[in-house]
A and B are shown apart, each in its own frame.
Chain A
Amino acid sequence: MSIHGLIYKGIDQVKGPLVIMRGVPGAAYEEVVRIYSEDGREWFGQVLEAGRDKIVIQVLGDTEGLDSNVMVRFTGTTLKIPVSDEMLGRVFNGAGEPIDGGPKIRADDIRDINGAPINPAKRDYPDEFIETGLSAIDGMLSLVRGQKLPIFSEAGLPHNEVAAQVARQAVVPGKAERFSIVFAAIGLKYDDVLYFRRQFEEFGALSRSILFLNLANDPVIERITTPRVALTAAEYLAFDLGMDVLVIITDMTNYCEALRELSSAREEVPSRKGYPGYMYSDLASIYERAGRIIGRPGSITFMPILTMPGGDLTHPIPDLTGYITEGQIFLDLDLHNRGIYPPINVLPSLSRLMKDGIGPGKTREDHKEVSDQLYAAYSQGTKARELVQIVGEAGLSPREKLYLEFARRFEREFVAQGFRERRSIEETLEIAWDILSILPEAELTRISEKTISKYHPKRRAAARVE
C-alpha cells in the first residue's frame, strides 16, 4: 500500500514547527509533504520521523493558521529542485523558487538538495593557484581552485567588501574564463544583498551569477534549505556544465542559529552553547560539497562568510567550521580600527591547500619560503608590540625594535591595499622582499641561502653594481 499522492485530512497536534499525525502508515523518512488549509493557505513540510503509528512533520515556514483541519498531501519524494543553465542571471528564494518575476525554470534535471557525498577516491586534488589580487591572501593564504576557505568575521567588519573584491578579481592564471558566481544570502538584511547585487552588476558578473536570497524577515526554516539549494545549483554548473564556480554564502552564523532553533523545537539534547551535537556533520554535509572531481573540468570554490559571536574563535560556529574547511581568513577588529583594509590577521588565518598550489611553475619558487618567513617575523613583531604596552618602546632590545618596525610595515604596506587595487603575485612578493630586507640576513632562517642570493633586494642591488 502506498499513500503517495494521497491526501489526508486532519492532524493530531501542532508543536512549534512540528506537526504530529497518527495512523498514517507508509510515510517515508524525509519525504516532502504539502499542507493546505481550508482557506487556501499552503505549507511545505518534511517528514522527520516516520513511524507506523506516528509521524512527525517539520513544517517549513510560519505555522500560524495551521489547525487540525488541514489537508496533508504526501508527495512521495525528498526535497528536490529543478536545475538548468537558465538559472544563470536569475534570483531565487531559499526554497529554490524564482522571485525575480521571471519565468519558471525549464529543468534539465531534478536534483535532491542534499546532494550525495563525493567519493574521496574520485576527488581531484585542488592545486591550481587562484590569484585574488589581495596580497594577504595570495602571499600568505593562497586560495586554490576547488578549495573551501571561509571568512571569519565580526559584525561591523568589511567582510562583504573582501568577498566582493575576491569575486571581482579572482582569476586562475592562464585561464581565460572567469568564475561563475553562486551567491546565497542567509538571514541577511536587504542592504547587504543590494550591496552584492550592485557589485556583481558593476563588474559585469550578473549574467554569470545565480542569487539565492533568504532575508532577515524570510522564514527561519528556509535558512536550512538555502545553502543546500545554492550548492545543488553550483554542483550542476560545475560538475555537469564544467564551469568554475565561486560560491559565496553569507552569513553561516544565521544558518547555525536556525539549526539550533530547530533542534530545540525538536527537544533534542543540546551540545555546546545549545547547538545540536550533530552540527559538525551537518556543516560538513554543506562545506564538503566544494571541490574538484577527476575527469570533470569544473570546480566549486567555496567562500562562506560567518560572523563570530563576540569575536570568539572558539565559539562552536567558527570552531566547527574551522575543523571542516580548508583553512580560514580571519578578519581582525583591531586591524580594522587602525584603518587597515583588508583587516586580515594572517596569524590565526590559514590556507591548508596552499602547499600544493604555489611554487615554481605556479607562482614563484621563493613563495613558500617567503611566506613562512613573513609569518615567523610578523609573529615576533606582534610579540614586541605587546611588550611595548608594558615596558614602553625604550624597554625593547634593538632586535625587538626592528621586529616592531617590521610588523608596522607589514601591516601598512603588505596587508593594506585599496578596494580597487589588484596586485599580481609578483608585486605581492616584491613588497614582501622589500619589508623582509630590513631584517639582518641571519634572521631569515626560514629562507634558504640559495633563495636569498637570488631574490634578496640587497643581493640583487650588489649584483647590478658588479
Chain B
Amino acid sequence: MTTLLNVQHVSKQYGHDTLALSDVSFSVNEGEFVSVIGPSGAGKSTLLRCINQMVDTTDGEIHFDNAILQQMNKRELRGLRTNIGMIFQHYNLVERLTVIENVLHGRLGYKSTVAGMLGLYKEEEKERGIELLEMLGLREQIYKRCDQLSGGQKQRVGIARALIQEPKMLLCDEPIASLDPNASKRIMDHLKSISRSMGITALVNLHQVDVALSYSDRIIGVSGGKIVFDGSPKEVTQEIIQSIYGSEANDLMVKLGGQNAI
C-alpha cells in the first residue's frame, strides 16, 4: 500500500492566541476511508482545510502524492486542488444555477481562465456529469435549479461536483450534519461505495461517532488541536471516547461494536 497523504508536525495558529492544531502527524494510504472525530472546536475543519491549503499551515509539512504542499506556488496549488474533491456540511452550491451547472463547476480547476470564465465545457465533461448524477440517483433533477432540491439531493450534487474532478482524495467536512437519518445513511453509503469502487481515498469529519465507527477503515480522534487517537474502529473503547470528548462523552451514548448504527 502506498501512502497518499502524509501530515508531519503540522500546527495552525489563528491570530495570536488560537492554536487550532498543534503538532499533528498522521498518514493516509491510497484508498483508505478515514474518519476524523472530535468535539466542537477541536480543529477538525481546520485540519481538512490545511490539506487542500484553503487554510495555510503555520508549521510543519504536508506531503500529498509525493509533493510538498508548503513549497507550492499559486499555480501548483490550483493543480493540487483539482486532485482533491471537497464536500461541505452546507453543500456550498450556487443555489440559483441548475444541478448540471453546479456539477460542471468541478471542472473549472482544469480550465484556462478564459475557458473558465466563459464556462466552456467539453461534450465529454457534460456526459460524465450526467453519468455521475445518474449514478447518484439524480436523473430527474439534472436540469432543476438547486434551490428546489432537498438537503440529501443537494449533498449528492456536491458529491458529483467533487467526483467530476477525478480526484485522488475526497475531503468531507461533516457531510451529514444537516441531514436526517435516512438521507445521512444514503450519503454515507454513497461515499463508502465511491471510495471502494473508484479507489478514492476519503477523509471524513464526523460528529456521529457511531457512523464513523461503522463506515471507516480507520478513526482519527482529535481533541484540543491534538491527535489523541489513531487506529482501527475495533480498537475504540469507551475510555478512548472519553479521552477524545472529555465530559461530553457521556452524552454521546455510543453503542460500541454496533456495526449498523444508523
- Chain B associates with chain A: no
Footprint of A on B, CB under 8 Å? none
